[in-house]
Every structure is written in structure tokens, then in C-alpha cells.
Amino acid sequence: MNKTIYIKDLGSKDFKETWDYQEAVFKSILDTKIKNRRENAGLETSNYFFFVEHPHVYTLGKSGDLSNLLLSEAQLAEKGATFYKINRGGDITYHGPGQIVGYPILDLDNFFTDIHKYLRFLEEVIILTLNDYGLKATRSEGETGVWLDVGTPFARKICAMGVRASRWVTMHGFALNVNSNLGYFDNIIPCGIRGKAVASLNVELGVESVDEEDVKAKLLKHFATLFEAEFKSLNA
């Protein structure tokens, strides 16, 4: 079981370009697993974790409802945003500047073969990170992701999640609002859930901007602890 995870920060990168990159890495791990099964090759599978920030984009999961996008094609162009229907779980969400997106591409055979547990661990990474900033973040039953003030009229989502898995290999991941322009969420019904707001860390802390590198460091610390993993830098 290889618990080393290669980490790479992709910076600001187009969503489709990043999606294609994820797919290539995802396929390389699957190909190794297939070779191992067919030829008993005994090859080690690798694990990866990519941080990225996307330009304004809306993405719709495979089970999502297109009516949850409240903009026409022309209005998307006016806002400088793009739209993609993609192969993760979940409904519609937004990515943009000020948001930390994490894409773990893991062979769960190296950790544990339980998708439910994997999602709960991803949520726990976010919850522990927000706790470091003094925020009491929690889960909301039946709604994947991380929330604030669950069970009150002020419940709001601060981190969305959606993953794809095949042969226990994962892709896609989480999107944590850190210094996000929340106005862009007004153009969708986030995750298909009506009547609930979204949040951003800087707004919750009452500051203009939060150090995103500090947030990433905290995320990696908690991820490494929960998954009992070791991170290594992946050279460009």
C-alpha cells in the first residue's frame, strides 16, 4: 500500500484544461491497475493531489438538473464565465478566483476501499481546517459538503464536494470558498438546494482577505493525518 501522495499546485488554470489533465492522470492509474490484474505485474500505483484556482466557471454533475443554472449562454459570456457538464457526482456548483479547489486522485486500494468513508474524510479535512480559524463547521445530513449554522435559518455552505471513482481510483474533489465573490452563486441554485445560502471564509472572519497559502498548509496537514499519508512535491 503506497501512501505517498504527490502534491502539485497548478495555480490559476482553465477548468477544461485541468479536467483533461485530471483525466490523463486518472487513466494512468487505472491502466496500472488493469495491467496488475491481467498480468499479475505487481506494479505500485501512485496518488496525487492538485490544488488549483479556476477562472469563473459553472459545472454540472452527471445527475444534476440544468434548470439550476439561471443564466443563458449570452449572460454567461457577459459575466466572463463558462459552463461544463461533467462526470462527477452532485449537481451544479461554481468555481472562481478566491476559491481553493482540491483534486485528490488517489488509488483507494492504498488507503481504504469505502467511498462513503472517503467523502466523510474529505469533509473532515475541511471541518478541521475551519476549526483552526475558530469556525464551527459541520455536515448537513443528506447534503454532501461542509456547512455553517446547520439546523438554523442561517445555514450556509462553505465547501462543495463532488467526486468520481472507478476501480477505487478517485478524481474531482472539493471547492472551499476562501476569498470568493459570492455574487456568482446568485446565478445558480447551488448543488440544487433551494433556500440555503453560501459562505466564504473571509466574510465569516470579517476580513478583506485570508492567506490562501496558509489555508492550503492546514488542509494538507489534516489530510495527511486522516489518510495517514505523506506528501511529496511533484516537480513541474
Residues acting as catalytic residues: 191
**91 annotated to bind ligand:** yes
**102 annotated to bind ligand:** no
Measuring CA to CA, which residue among 162, 161, 154, 144 is closest to residue 203? Answer: 154
**50 annotated to bind ligand:** no
**95 annotated to bind ligand:** yes
Measuring CA to CA, which residue among 22, 186, 15 is closest to residue 104? Answer: 22
**98 annotated to bind ligand:** no
Pairing mode, strands 47-53 and 4-12? parallel
The two counts, helices (H) then strands (E), for the chain are 5, 12
**195 annotated to bind ligand:** no
**173 annotated to bind ligand:** yes
**88 annotated to bind ligand:** yes
Tell me the DSSP string of 10-53: EEE--HHHHHHHHHHHHHHHHHHHHHHHHH---PPPPEEEEEEE
**113 annotated to bind ligand:** no
Pairing mode, strands 137-140 and 197-198? unpaired
Cα 214 from Cα 211, distance rounded (Å): 5
Please give the annotated binding residues, written as ranges: 88-95, 160-162, 173-175
Please give the annotated binding residues for substrate, written as ranges: 88-95, 160-162, 173-175
